[in-house]
């Protein structure tokens, strides 16, 4: 078992710490190139984390990472060097901080902008216990675009709890929100008092020799340089920076200074994404999260599928609609590449927007656009859309405005684990009055779902699709247009009804073929609509002896529950079983291993169905 680091950090000289950083980067590159994972941001944060561990004791001053995909170095420094080889594998080391994995990880963190709030809570507890230590928060510049950060900063600046906030500014796509903040701060520079002072200084410099014009220019630049800190200083939080985030000596000095101040301090550091791996250095979104790749060339080891992904189908279909109708608009929250909106934002910058990590704002702003007669598409991952739950109810649902929600990464997403699985959207949207929920079963019907949403203008609607590919083989069944309140009978049979919703149709299809091979003749139904449930559902329930429901969502609040409620309301008595996910947070790992552990593999689903058929004495 490797001993890492070779000796306590506090006993190391500067040169040894720098060598340690190189060793950490080498280990990260070795494992991520094999397993995939978050790369460029975590490479850029190595010196920050080493300096944190050098100055502070995480057992007394909790290290709180925002999102925590940049915390790989922290994992390596806290006893997980060997285990790191299992990064993101089923049963292995998580790609995010996870207290159940190590006591060195303070909090689960997979969504952004929670760190400062957690820090305030920890600081309150420490104050009540009269402890001298303080929380250490590492937050990326992108996370600063979310309102939760400013709610926490507002209280922190008022209460003055000791805390160190390390702002990792790596000039990612997050430069846009930072730019917006800079524009706001520039208003301070236009204040008459500031202008008067600047004009006085300029006139004074004009009387100096020509060589002094250089000084004037530097003076102007230096005043602009301090503007990032003005916001924090005005909120009552000390600001230090900008600091070179790869200079260990400077970082250690600033962290010690912050430690001595005994009040809230922000140290603004500037780092390079991908630092130490030249191919990935810079603000390249494709190196943020990667699959396995060749270290020498940077080329992906897994060849892309010749078939388009659901995200690509969504992007191309929406691009077509945007080209024929100027009222089509769209928004995403810091995921232009992941949701497929990147090219649309480039093509139509006045109609498609990336607002940064601001899901709440994205939803509410599109509610207003819908009221103004536009056709808005909100493109957000299932796991991130839940952050805007109140806005979906208050600003979209109650108003009844026709906002179209395109829910990417629905269902099991794999290696990112508990914080990223897209398993809640059906439950939290199904309860909202007036919402229309539907789902395609494959790429062809996804295109039709988007077109239906485009034309549907009487209520808000949402449709979901998976991360990589649908379970159902392309062109297995004829693709028909979506009609509100209509299901589709793909195979007419008897006794057994296999009801699929969205990607669940593919799972139902697998069970269908297995049952046919055993002599059964089940019906296969694509439910299509989860809310409102189709009118034809009652007939299916009354003409079959047993029904099974398949959907990539939780049983709690899921499709099976909706059908049971429907059956009860229509006085239909029959055994109906949901083969959706049990109520448990789904861990990280490859999708096949996860499905096997949850008894969702094709073999497991067939076995579960056969057991129920035997129980009810249903034979071929």
Question: Is 206 a residue of the active site?
Answer: no
Alpha-carbon distance values, 72 to 49, 83, 105, 156 (Å): 9, 12, 11, 28
Q: Starting at the earlier edge strand, list the strands of the sheet with 136-140.
A: 63-65, 136-140, 163-169, 264-270, 238-244
Residue 302: per-residue pLDDT: 82
Asked if the model's pLDDT at residue 484 lies above 80, the reply is yes
Share of the chain above pLDDT 90, in %: 75
For 290, the enclosing helix (H) or strand (E) is strand 289-290
Task: Using alpha carbons, select from 432, 438, 444 the residue that is nearest to residue 399.
Answer: 432
**C-beta neighbour count of 271 within 10 angstroms:** 24
DSSP letters, 522-579, are -EEEE--EEESPPTTHHHHHHHEEEEEEE-SSBSTTSHHHHHHHHHHHTT----EEE-
Task: For residue 57, say whether it is annotated as part of any ligand binding site.
Answer: no
Model confidence over 504-520: pLDDT tens digits? 999 999 999 999 999 99
The answer on whether 19 is annotated among ligand-binding residues is no
Which has more confidence, 2 or 461? 461
305 annotated as belonging to a binding site for a ligand: no
Q: Is the pLDDT of residue 89 over 60?
A: yes
Rounded mean pLDDT, 7-35: 95
Question: Which tens digit of pLDDT belongs to each residue from 226-240?
Answer: 455 777 888 889 888
Looking at residues 198-207, what average pLDDT do you find? 53
215-230: average pLDDT: 52
User: Which pLDDT tens digit goes with each residue over 121-132?
Assistant: 999 999 999 999
Residue 75 scores a pLDDT above 70: yes
Distances (CA, A) of 70 to 10, 20, 39, 395, 486: 22, 17, 8, 34, 46
Under the banding of pLDDT at 50, 70 and 90, the label for residue 564 is very high
- pLDDT on residue 286: 82
Q: What is the mean pLDDT of residues 529-550?
A: 97
On the CB side of 494, how many CA atoms lie within 13 Å of its CA? 5
State yes or no: is 80 an active-site residue: no
Q: What are the φ/ψ torsions at residue 26 (nearest 5 degrees)?
A: -60, -40
Task: Tell whether residue 539 is among the known ligand binding residues.
Answer: no
What CATH number belongs to 488-616?
A: 3.40.50.920
- Catalytic (active site) residue 183: no
The whole-number pLDDT of residue 207 equals 60
pLDDT surpasses 70 at 591 = yes
- Sketch the domain layout of the chain as residue ranges: 23-204+235-280, 310-464, 488-616
The rounded distance, in Å, linking the Cα atoms of 406 and 430 is: 15
pLDDT confidence of residue 174: 32
List Cβ<8 Å contacts ≥24 apart for 594-600. 594/90, 594/412, 594/414, 595/412, 597/90, 600/507
Per-residue pLDDT of 390-412, as tens digits, reads 999 999 999 999 999 999 999 99
pLDDT at 329 over 50: yes
Q: For position 166, what pLDDT does the model report?
A: 95
Provide the pLDDT for residue 200. 53
How far apart (Å, rounded) are the C-alpha atoms in residues 157 and 263?
9
* Catalytic pick among 75, 80, 387, 507: 387
Mean pLDDT in residue range 178-187 = 38
310-464 shares its CATH topology with 488-616: yes
Considering the four listed CATH numbers 3.60.21.10, 3.40.50.970, 3.40.50.720, 3.30.465.10, the one that applies to the domain covering 23-204+235-280 is: 3.40.50.970
Can you say how many angstroms the Cα of residue 611 is from the centroid of all Cα atoms in its chain? 38
pLDDT for the residue numbered 194: 40
Q: Tell me the per-residue pLDDT of 123-161, one tens digit each, with 9 for 90 and over.
A: 999 999 999 999 999 998 788 888 899 999 999 999 999
Using the predicted structure, report yes or no on whether residue 532 has a pLDDT greater than 60.
yes
Tell me how many helices (H) and strands (E) the chain has: 24, 19
Catalytic residue among 25, 75, 98, 273: 273
Q: Who wins on pLDDT, 439 or 185?
A: 439
pLDDT of residue 202: 52
The residue-averaged pLDDT of 70-94 equals 94
CATH superfamily of 310-464: Thiamin diphosphate (ThDP)-binding fold, Pyr/PP domains (3.40.50.970)
Give the pLDDT band of residue 241 (cuts 50, 70, 90).
confident
Average pLDDT, the chain: 89
496 Cβ partners below 8 Å, 6+ apart? 515, 520, 521, 522, 523, 544, 545, 546, 547, 548, 613, 618
Residue 228 has what pLDDT?
A: 59
pLDDT given at position 185: 34
- Please report which confidence band the pLDDT of residue 597 belongs to, taking 50, 70 and 90 as the band edges: very high
Q: Does the annotation list 184 as a binding residue? A: no
Q: From the candidates 359, 415, 488, 595, which is the catalytic residue? A: 359
Q: Which phi and psi angles does 25 have, rounded to 5°? A: -60, -40
Kindly write down the DSSP assignment for every residue of 310-357, as one continuous string. HHHHHHHHHHHHHHH-TTEEEEESS-HHHHT-HHHHHH-TTTEEE--S
Task: Say whether pLDDT at 212 is over 70.
Answer: no
Q: Annotated binding residue at 342?
A: no
- Residue 428 binned pLDDT confidence (cut-offs 50, 70, 90): very high
Q: Is 314 annotated as a binding residue?
A: no
Highest average pLDDT, of 94-98, 266-270, 322-326, comes from 322-326
169 with 269: CB under 8 angstroms?
yes
């Amino acid at each position: 078992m490797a001993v890492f680091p070779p000796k306590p950090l506090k006993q190391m000289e500067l040169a040894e710490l720098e060598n340690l950083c190189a060793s950490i980067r080498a280990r990260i590159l070795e494992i991520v190139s094999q397993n995939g994972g978050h790369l460029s941001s975590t490479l850029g944060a190595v010196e920050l984390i080493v300096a944190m561990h050098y100055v502070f004791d995480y057992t007394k001053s909790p290290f709180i990472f925002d999102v925590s995909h940049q915390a790989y170095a922290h994992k390596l420094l806290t006893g997980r060097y060997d285990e790191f080889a299992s990064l993101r594998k089923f049963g292995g080391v998580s790609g995010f901080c996870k207290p159940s994995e190590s006591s060195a990880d303070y909090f689960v963190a997979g969504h952004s902008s929670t760190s400062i709030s957690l820090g305030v809570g920890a600081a309150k507890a420490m104050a009540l216990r009269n402890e001298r230590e303080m929380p250490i928060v590492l937050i990326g510049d992108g996370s600063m675009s979310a309102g939760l950060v400013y709610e926490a900063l507002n209280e922190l600046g008022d209460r003055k709890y000791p805390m160190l906030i390390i702002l990792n500014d790596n000039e990612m796509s997050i430069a846009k929100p930072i730019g917006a903040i800079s524009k706001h701060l520039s208003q301070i520079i236009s204040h008459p008092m500031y202008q008067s002072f600047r004009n006085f200084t300029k006139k004074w410099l004009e009387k100096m020799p020509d060589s002094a014009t250089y000084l004037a220019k530097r003076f102007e630049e230096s005043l602009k340089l301090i503007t990032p800190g003005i916001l924090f200083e005005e909120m009552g939080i000390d600001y230090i920076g900008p600091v070179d985030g790869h200079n260990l000596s400077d970082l250690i000095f600033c962290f010690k200074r912050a430690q001595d101040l005994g009040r809230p301090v922000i140290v603004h550091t500037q780092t390079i994404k991908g630092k130490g791996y030249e191919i990935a250095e810079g603000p390249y979104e494709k190196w943020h999260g990667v699959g396995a790749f060749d270290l020498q060339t940077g080329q992906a080891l897994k060849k892309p599928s010749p078939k388009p992904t659901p995200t690509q189908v969504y992007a191309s279909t929406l691009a077509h609609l945007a080209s024929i109708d100027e009222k089509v608009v769209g928004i995403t929250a810091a995921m232009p590449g992941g949701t497929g909106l990147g090219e649309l934002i480039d093509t139509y910058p006045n109609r498609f927007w990336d607002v940064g990590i601001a899901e709440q704002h994205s939803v509410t702003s599109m509610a207003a656009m819908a009221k103004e007669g536009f056709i808005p598409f909100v493109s957000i991952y299932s796991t991130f859309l839940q952050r805007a739950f109140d806005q979906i109810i208050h600003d979209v649902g109650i108003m009844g405005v026709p906002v179209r929600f395109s829910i990417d990464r629905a269902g099991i997403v794999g290696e990112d684990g508990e914080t990223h699985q897209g398993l809640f959207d059906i439950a939290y949207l199904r309860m909202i009055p007036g919402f229309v929920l539907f789902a395609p079963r494959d790429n062809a019907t996804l295109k039709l779902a988007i077109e239906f949403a485009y034309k549907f203008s009487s209520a808000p609607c949402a449709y979901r699709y998976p991360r990589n590919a649908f379970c159902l083989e392309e062109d297995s069944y004829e693709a028909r247009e979506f009609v509100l309140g209509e299901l589709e009978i793909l195979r007419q049979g008897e006794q057994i009804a296999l009801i699929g919703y969205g990607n669940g149709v593919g799972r139902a299809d697998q069970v269908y073929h297995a049952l046919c091979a055993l002599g059964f003749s089940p019906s296969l139904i694509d439910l299509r609509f989860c809310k409102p449930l189709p009118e034809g559902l009652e007939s299916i329930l009354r003409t079959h002896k047993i029904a099974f429901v398949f959907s990539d969502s939780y049983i709690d609040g899921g499709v099976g529950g909706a059908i049971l409620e429907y059956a009860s309301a229509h006085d239909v008595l029959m055994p109906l079983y949901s083969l959706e996910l049990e109520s448990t947070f789904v861990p990280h790992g490859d999708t096949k291993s996860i499905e096997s552990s949850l008894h969702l593999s094709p073999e497991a689903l067939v076995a579960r169905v056969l057991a129920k058929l035997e129980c009810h004495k249903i034979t071929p």
